[in-house]
Every structure is written in structure tokens, then in C-alpha cells.
Amino acid sequence: MGLFDKKYCDICGEKIGFLGNRKLEDGNLCKNCARKLSPFFHERRSSTVEEIRAQLAYREANAEALKDFHPTNIFGSDEKIYLDGEAKKMIVTSAGDWASDNPDLISAEQIIAVETHIEDDKEEIFYTDREGNEKSYDPPRYRHAYAFHVTFKIDSPWFDEISVDLNNGERPEREDDDLYLEWQMRMQELASLIRRWNYTPRPEDMLLGPDAYVLEQRKHQISPIHPEQMAAAEQVVIPEGSWQCFHCRQINQGKFCTECGQPRVTEEA
């Protein structure tokens, strides 16, 4: 077959227009069928026609399952994470009308891990001397822009990771900025909610009462705090109306800690 011979989509059978072909391992895919694939899928070129057909069947079933998805929590500024707390499922999409975008419906059982990371995208600030030369300050000065990232490790035949830039377009410039603390709290709240989905209480946990049950949850959800991290946490500026948990150092606003579940306790108590 020559370079300019007519090609047909091995999925829908339609003729593929000029520059519209999406190569598969053993066939061709038109751009319309390619649009129906998961946005988190990146192995098209190494996929067979049958594998693409299987994914498109999954995507049709996914669109049907979304009819029973009812978000209870929303996180993110541009690309958003929607959680259905009752069904323990989530979707990730930047579409205003998420239902029409057919985002992949991820169940709690598919979420292997939740990783959080704060990236400092800093840029050095220079000054111009009397000769017009650009010079570094001594010590160097930087302009900071903090990005809050959440990565989900996923058990799926089509992809194994979903990474989200939570605060795209809303970059705080200082760690003591209210905006920084707000995004930090939201990121920790999101990770805590997801981790709780996959925690199954043991019968003995429930027999010990709610306080012991909460402590058992903490052992499964929160890594031990290193003494150096504890010292750094003491320097955190707490926004007015908020409080810091004495157990895990999470910043909160409600009556209970969003990370470990402990009730609010004042220093006087």
C-alpha cells in the first residue's frame, strides 16, 4: 500500500482523511474513534485493533455508569477531581459539563495509592548594574510559584496513573500565604478522603469504641511524623478561624481533623 493510498478505520470502517490517521500496531484508527479513548491512555501505537475495540466497549459502558455518579466533593481549579463519597468513586476532568466528557469512572478498589507533592517553580530575580549588565543578588533572590500536585496510582487495563495539578492558575508565591495554606489543606483533605475509602475496619476495632477506631484509622492512613517535620510544623502560620491538630499537625476549620479524625482540642484542654 502506497503512502497516499486510501486508508479506512479498522474500528468504524470510515475512510480516513488526509492527516487523520492514527496508527495502531496492526491497523489504522480515525481521529473520531481516537477521541473516544480515555484521555489517560497513551499506548495507542503499541495497541492492536482488538485492544482498541475492547477499550471503546469499556468507554461505552463507562458513559452508562456515569449516570449513577453523584459528586459530593470537588477539588481543583482547572482540571477538577469529583468525588462521589457514597459510591466511593471519582472522576478527573477539565470539562465544564463533566457528564458529556465521559471521564473515566474510578472506583476505590482501583486506587492503589495517593501521592501528594508541592513543587516550587522558582525563578531567580536579577538586577541591572550601572553598566547595564544583569547581575544576581548576593545572596540570590527568587520569585516563587508553588504548585500542588496529586498523583493517583490506578489499577486499570488502560492506564496506571492520573496526575492532577490542583491549583493551575492560582500559584501562591509564599509559604505563609493564605492561598498556600488553603491549597495545602485542600490537598490533604483530598488525600485523606481517598485513603479512608480503602480502609476496612476490623471487628475488634469497632468493639473498642469510636476513639480507638479513629486511632486505628490513623495507623493505616498517616505516616509517622519525623521530629524535624514536627519542628517545622510548629512554625506554620495558622489562618484566622482555623486550628492545628495536635496529633497529625493538619490545619483544619471544622470540629474534627480532616486527616486523622480527632476532635478539635484547645491548648487549655
Which has the higher per-residue pLDDT, 208 or 247?
247
Whether the predicted pLDDT of 4 surpasses 80: no
Rounded to the nearest 5 degrees, what angle is found at the Cα of 193, between the Cα atoms of 229 and 111? 100
Query: How many Å apart are CA 226 and CA 137, to the nearest integer?
Result: 34
Query: Per-residue pLDDT averaged across 73-89, rounded?
Result: 95
Residues 6 or more apart whose CB falls under 8 angstroms from that of 202 comprise: 216
How confident is the model over 12-66, as pLDDT tens digits?
998 988 888 889 999 999 999 999 999 999 999 989 999 999 999 999 999 999 9
Query: Per-residue pLDDT averaged across 246-259, rounded?
Result: 68
Domain regions of the chain by residue span? 1-68, 69-197, 199-269
The pLDDT of residue 203 = 61
Query: How many Å apart are CA 173 and CA 150, to the nearest integer?
Result: 19
Whether the predicted pLDDT of 234 surpasses 70: no
The pLDDT-based confidence of 145 (bands split at 50, 70, 90) is very high
How confident is the model over 87-143, as pLDDT tens digits?
999 999 999 888 889 999 999 999 999 999 999 999 999 999 999 999 999 999 999
The pLDDT of residue 220 = 44
The pLDDT-based confidence of 242 (bands split at 50, 70, 90) is confident
Tell whether domain 69-197 is in CATH 2.60.40. Answer: no
Residues 6 or more apart whose CB falls under 8 angstroms from that of 113 comprise: 152, 153
Query: How many Å apart are CA 56 and CA 60, to the nearest integer?
Result: 6
Whether the predicted pLDDT of 241 surpasses 90: no
Phi-psi region of 13 (alpha: psi -120 to 50; beta: other; left: phi over 0): left
The pLDDT of residue 100 = 86
The pLDDT of residue 199 = 67
pTM: predicted TM-score of the whole model, two decimal places: 0.71
How confident is the model over 165-181, as pLDDT tens digits?
999 989 999 998 899 99
